[in-house]
Structure 1
């Protein structure tokens, strides 16, 4: 009979006793909704005494299932609020019953609060387990899986239904899993030992490798017996295994480990985390040849055989990958056509497949290949691809870093322009040659300096100068022996080291070089004449230490220049004194500039048409208390050599402007002063601004200043120099081309430059009256000046005949000893007064002559 059909006529004592002993609370409610029975378990659940509820309305129990409109059958878990305000979870079921023909309802209630709380905790544990990014596995003592979380499913691809009931080892372990380590740890746990961690390679549902860190522990009962085994698995493929490759490379680079050792370490580490591969790293040089860097598990004879092989479209996997710049896979070396010439040795050692990936530099060059060899015909897995992705970047970084360091080391010891050994490397080479010099033998050192190199820079620009040095270096290489060494000290200075050569041998080499340089060099469309001065010193005859030997070769070279250039000299003891004199002269010049010991003298410039003063040229003079008067022909070139010429030029402008202002305040009418500047001054973009400040300081108009420049200053391709000249012309300061006709002038360029004046060089004055060539050049310069609207000034005019000739040509202005040498300011003032008086007397004389002629006409 079912509970819904049971009829209760009366409750026997035995049954009543049984109801009292029941664990469930039992409540009987009659048709009038009154409680007729309330057992002891019900008292405990509701915390109400039966005397308080029997005969009372069932509403006191706060059960919705007892409402009149509730379903007759009910079963469910409800939240029950008791008399004291506490709340419990109760499992309640209700069934209808008939007693004495009257309908009753019987309520069964059980306190399930503890079970509900347990279920909540389990649910929370499940939620937390599913939220972690670590895979959770729980097995029984037989290692059969009883639970996995969602992260396990994500990592390995098995759902909980697919995993539960299977042995963990069968599910995720593989050929390279460290089963012994896992088994040892489980045995230790079963014996009561502590938990442990291991790192091992496991496999997902698709057979892909995953490196995990596994933390394994046991769940025990109250008696300490193992009931379940718990494993927490963390994927360390990226965070630890791949990062370990990065740490390996970085630490090796920081420790300056050779690139071959870095490559070897990298290959070994890769083979640890990918046990089914054999790793190889090949370098590809600039010529397209491969060179083994790392491959510790490959046979040595095979690696040696690869050295020097040229990359190509059918050169195994690595040569082909390097050639095309794309990964190349040969799944079976035995049948792959690209491997036929190279397959024998790999197949002998059990290597059946090869996958190679090119390593590229930042500029796209293939600089290496990274290869995986497999012991069975196959393609790489995703794990292999992830390793290669990391290693390609790391390999590129390591190789480029080493290339950069090698280049830095090369630059530290080689000249950037010519590629020759520089000063630092030359010292090492000289030391080595001296140490290896046999007794009774010599080492010759030749210093070579290009003659007039500054003129090339000034005339054709620095780009042409650099090209000249490059070609010179090539020509010098062709005319020295295979054991001789060529280096560049800097600028236009070269050194030739001649091991085991005596003085006669060194002179033969120097003479051969002089002859070789006689043929001009081609710079663009121009043929440039070339020569050099060479100085030679000998070890051990002249010196036994490097510094002295180099100083002596330098002194001999300077004497070769003094001897007329394009020649050589061997060091002699007398040269030391000359070199010392030169150094002393440089030191004295520096001191003179610093202490204001230089002065300016002024040579007048006279207009041809009327003899009036056109202006003066300021010329630097130096009188030293010890050296006496030092000629400008001596100290101006010296200033250019030692970098003082720009200072002298700016000082000359300031001093000339100061003197002009003084003269004007004194009432002397000198229209302008000309100052010579070096081309170096015009490369300074601030020159125009400095001139403006100097003129303003002395309250002079811009046309009171004329700057004289050589042809080289405007013929060079320096944009800065041209911009500076334009800025000066816009300022109103005049520009005069000094020594016009002696350089490499371009008339087309001259027509477009802000030049106001041309000066005929004094070298043409000497024979202008009788030398047709000199007269023709002077005539041409005057015509060019007239055609371009420029004033033409002739320098070095010493005779009346020269003056007349120039006047007949139409030359505007003359200067020279015919009128006056360069004079000190006071002397110039006296000369100017006398010249003005002479001009006045001449003018009166002309008036008297003219008046006499007029009187004769009237009397006639």
Structure 2
């Protein structure tokens, strides 16, 4: 008999009392499969009264395990369906005993539904925890780790097996971790305080730095006692720490903080998030010299020692990095060959290693270096590399933006073409010089204007004009002293400020400049002669304010031009009147244009072969009620200076076409009218369209209009001008080159341009009968023009001898006082009638017709 059998046999009452008080449900089933005992705990589990169970078949308990071999043991957790249909989770243990020689089965049952649900919840929590990207640590009250999730493993490199049981501080804290901040939070929790968070520098399994935001809380029992400490760790290396650098730079730039202060702030912030480095930012200027920008933790004498050092292949880490444009790491300054001439100072202050990275502008220039110094021989960590990657971009942005703003400021006060101070800066310089002028001293202000600069632009193009101004500025710099200041007002006007110079001294400077400009400038393959007119005013003799001084120097300059150019004049009181006259003339010209006070006169052009009318040239004239007749030689250059010439040109075309239409309606047959236009007109891409509209308005064919242009209009490299000329030629309007032979014409270009007519300049006519050179030039122009299929017109013909010479050369058309000056429309009509009658008389005379026939022809004309 077994011990249990003996116990049941010998002390049944005691045993039954013990079974009744047991926490587990206990059921005894006899060999006939009937329930013989059903304790109070069993009643609660099955929700059945023992009176309803005892003596009945054990089938009522819905335990399949009772159907098994009576001898076998059973232990399992099952889903138990109770009599009322409800279901619980039960832990079942089944044993066999003998009583009165018969086998009995004892069932031990425990309701574990709550435990099972808790296990399910814990499993779900584990699954959720492993899905989050935040590291989870659970420790006991002694901060020994009891659980970590998979994100912790990913972030720090420790498996759960390696982490569990280890002290959290020993596992992920390091030499620069703020242990006090974490300890303070834990202490607060242990004393019943609320959860909190701290940003701390942690270290992974390999010793690499990771900035984390640690949110720390406690798990408590029902009595509020702390059972476990829970920490949720978020990697803020990128999202917060590196972004804080960006916010720092952007905020400083927005606040217009000086670049040196920005660099210091950046270095301080870097040293906060990377406590084991000393940070430095050096600027590299255009000459390759180093200048400290930021390095607040470096001694001032060390930073000063770096200032002005030239970059090179063996100039420490920074100089070498800037030279090669690549990062340079010196893990031990003591032995690194690049540091041997420079190592004493950093070693003396405890710096043993240096890693420098070049900062590059968008165009690839190295504009700075960003360096980390270390207090022990070592290489940068991954965290340090990430910091530098961010700081190099931010540093480049900050330095380039400051450079851009400095360039904008420079451009605001300096001329773009020559780099000289501009009008705004000159006013500031003059004001400063006047304020600093000692009593009894003088300041000379010289205005310089290039002579015939417009001819260079018109003939060789604006690129050549710009090059001339650049070379002129350089030549002027060479002629002034170190205390003198040169600036450009705009166009071809320069100003020279001469402190401590009286009239005599300023005149000597002007004479030296005039002499220096006597040597021609080289523009490409050309040697270009040049000169300038200079006007000088004196402070305080002539004026004490800037505006008056400048006006007086300007007036003196115009007097120098009127004196023949390539000279200088010092201001005198009578010049004010001349300046006022010029301004009055400009104002009167503007009024004349606005009020339609200009007029056109017409000079006939005659065919050499038969004396017939070829056309007429329309020439602008101005008669002012106060000024009288103003010469075109005076008001046309003035119109070019003050920007009115394009307006006059279009008005001339419109008026000439109106007059041509009027003549044709009256029966006067004038084949073509020529109108002079400025090169400025041809830069306007709408010119052809406007000509088309004007011709249509007056019902004139396109070949009734000829436009006279200077050589500069087609010699300059202006795509717009050439396109305009082609559009005009396609329209059918003729193009005539005026004053041909006086400029710098390229015959190869002329052959490919839409030119219909060449005009020999009047300057060759005076001596064409006696000067072999003038005759040769006229002959060449006629041959070139006719060889290219162009009509050749000679202007300025005043004598019969000139006409005969030109006729012998084969010149197609002549124009000049030999036939008529420029005439008002009515006078031109009378002249044309007389000319036609004379032509008729001559023709009839050749045919033998008498005076009566001639008179009849005259009346018909």
- Cα shift readout 1:350-397 (whole Å, capped 9, x = no counterpart): 111111111111111111111111111111111211111111111111
Structure 1 residue 45, shift from structure 2 partner? 1.8
Change (3 A) 1:12 1:550: same
Structure 2: distance between partners of 1:72 and 1:704: 130
Kindly indicate whether the alpha-carbon contact (under 8 Å) linking 2:7 and 2:15 is maintained by their aligned counterparts in 1: no
Partner of 1:279 in structure 2? 279
Larger mean Cα displacement after TM superposition, 182-191 or 476-485: 182-191
Structure 2: distance between partners of 1:517 and 1:731: 45
- Cα shift readout 1:122-181 (whole Å, capped 9, x = no counterpart): 223333333333323232232222222222222222222222222222222222222233
Partner of 1:536 in structure 2? 536
SS at the partner of 1:488? Answer: strand
Structure 1 residue 431, shift from structure 2 partner? 0.7
Whether 2:618 is the aligned partner of 1:618: answer: yes
* Equivalent residues in 2 for 1:200-599, closer than 5 Å: 200-599=200-599
TM-score, normalised on structure 2? 0.94
Structure 1: distance between partners of 2:127 and 2:382: 31
Root mean square deviation of aligned Cα: 2.6
- Cα shift readout 1:643-663 (whole Å, capped 9, x = no counterpart): 111111122112222222222
Structure 1: distance between partners of 2:644 and 2:699: 28
Partner of 1:110 in structure 2? 110
- Cα shift readout 1:556-585 (whole Å, capped 9, x = no counterpart): 111111111111111112211221221222
* Equivalent residues in 2 for 1:686-765, closer than 5 Å: 686-765=686-765
Structure 2: distance between partners of 1:223 and 1:171: 31
Structure 1 residue 703, shift from structure 2 partner? 1.0
Larger mean Cα displacement after TM superposition, 754-763 or 14-23: 14-23
Structure 2: distance between partners of 1:289 and 1:564: 51
SS at the partner of 2:309? Answer: coil
Q: State how many pairs are aligned.
A: 852
Kindly indicate whether the alpha-carbon contact (under 8 Å) linking 2:60 and 2:83 is maintained by their aligned counterparts in 1: no
Change (3 A) 1:55 1:11: farther
Larger mean Cα displacement after TM superposition, 235-244 or 368-377: 235-244
Partner of 1:812 in structure 2? 812
Structure 1 residue 223, shift from structure 2 partner? 3.5
Change (3 A) 1:471 1:395: same
Larger mean Cα displacement after TM superposition, 75-84 or 100-109: 100-109
Partner of 1:857 in structure 2? none
Whether 2:678 is the aligned partner of 1:678: answer: yes
Structure 1: distance between partners of 2:797 and 2:298: 88
Kindly indicate whether the alpha-carbon contact (under 8 Å) linking 1:65 and 1:71 is maintained by their aligned counterparts in 2: no
Structure 1 residue 305, shift from structure 2 partner? 1.4
Partner of 2:646 in structure 1? 646
Structure 1 residue 441, shift from structure 2 partner? 0.7
Whether 2:130 is the aligned partner of 1:149: answer: no
Structure 1: distance between partners of 2:597 and 2:79: 112
SS at the partner of 1:200? Answer: strand
TM-score, normalised on structure 1? 0.94
Partner of 1:856 in structure 2? none
Larger mean Cα displacement after TM superposition, 249-258 or 417-426: 249-258
Change (3 A) 1:722 1:567: same
Structure 1 residue 616, shift from structure 2 partner? 1.1
Partner of 1:25 in structure 2? 25
Change (3 A) 1:95 1:592: farther
- Cα shift readout 1:493-545 (whole Å, capped 9, x = no counterpart): 11100011011111111111111111100111100000001111111111111
Larger mean Cα displacement after TM superposition, 826-835 or 670-679: 826-835
- Cα shift readout 1:60-79 (whole Å, capped 9, x = no counterpart): 44444355799954432223
Structure 1 residue 759, shift from structure 2 partner? 0.9
Structure 1 residue 465, shift from structure 2 partner? 0.7
Larger mean Cα displacement after TM superposition, 76-85 or 650-659: 76-85
Kindly indicate whether the alpha-carbon contact (under 8 Å) linking 2:46 and 2:83 is maintained by their aligned counterparts in 1: yes
Structure 1 residue 53, shift from structure 2 partner? 4.3
Structure 1: distance between partners of 2:748 and 2:793: 21
SS at the partner of 2:848? Answer: helix
Partner of 1:827 in structure 2? 827
Partner of 1:79 in structure 2? 79
Larger mean Cα displacement after TM superposition, 165-174 or 333-342: 165-174
Kindly indicate whether the alpha-carbon contact (under 8 Å) linking 2:201 and 2:212 is maintained by their aligned counterparts in 1: yes
Structure 1: distance between partners of 2:2 and 2:332: 76
Partner of 1:790 in structure 2? 790
Structure 1 residue 771, shift from structure 2 partner? 3.1
Structure 1 residue 476, shift from structure 2 partner? 0.5
Partner of 1:163 in structure 2? 163
Structure 1: distance between partners of 2:69 and 2:206: 59
Structure 1: distance between partners of 2:805 and 2:71: 143
- Structure 1's unaligned 5+ residue stretches are 853-860
